[in-house]
Structure 1
């Protein structure tokens, strides 16, 4: 199965459980692997035969900026759902990182892998 990677996509979201986290948006980092058939694009060399990864990034950013989830688990799940609605993918692996949350840790993250239910 073919893959498209978007790595290190910075987005901002109102996310967190504690009151101090709900005051301002926080920086999050998204790494996503999009599983799809790229054979037609590989043979045709035409952009209309591939997945527009800029539109996928915009979709992820829109979910992040408009959400008010407390948990990164819920936000990651919503990102995956929104991507599946808008794009013809077979599977998605999405890692959502909250790098600035623990003073003594480089990063905290969740990672989900979901197959298209359709």
Structure 2
């Protein structure tokens, strides 16, 4: 079994979508992240430097969602995953980006894309 840190339900305003009004008006996106890394040293030492700071993880994801607009939430999720993997302690990451207000002319609860990356 591998150790992991999970962050769910991060809500961030962004301007992603293929339609002009999505980039102009924006909407709320929701991000879920799971990051796999060895937490043995953090558990043994109670030292924040031995783990991935989940506040910084949330800020990283929020900066990407709230930053440069992309057409696809696949691109948003992939960019978050790639940035998280820059930390050499991370062995894997899974990112789900939800777009609950996607412009679909039908009744639905959510649209989401999940990407996974491993080292």
Distance 1:11 1:87 in 2: 26
Superposition deviation, residue 88 in structure 1: 2.7
Is the alpha carbon distance of 1:86 and 1:64 closer, same or farther for their aligned partners in structure 2, counting shifts above 3 Å?
farther
Distance 1:113 1:38 in 2: 20
SS of the residue aligned with 1:100? coil
Distance 1:69 1:37 in 2: 32
Q: Indicate the residue corresponding to 1:40 in structure 2.
A: 41
* Per-residue deviation, residues 57-99 of structure 1 (Å, max 9, x unmatched): 1111111122210110111111111112246310001111001
**CA-atom RMSD, angstroms?**
1.3
Paired residues, number: 116
Q: Indicate the residue corresponding to 1:109 in structure 2.
A: 112
Which 4+ stretches in 1 moved above 6 angstroms?
Answer: none
Distance 1:9 1:67 in 2: 18
Q: Determine if contact 1:6/1:31 at 8 Å carries over to the other structure.
A: yes
Where does structure 1 lack aligned partners over 5 or more consecutive residues?
Answer: none
Q: Indicate the residue corresponding to 1:55 in structure 2.
A: 56
TM-score by length of 2: 0.90
TM-score by length of 1: 0.91
Where does structure 2 lack aligned partners over 5 or more consecutive residues?
Answer: none
Task: Please show how residues 28-107 of structure 1 align to structure 2 within 5 Å.
Answer: 28-86=29-87, 88-101=89-102, 102=104, 103-107=106-110
Is the alpha carbon distance of 1:8 and 1:87 closer, same or farther for their aligned partners in structure 2, counting shifts above 3 Å?
farther
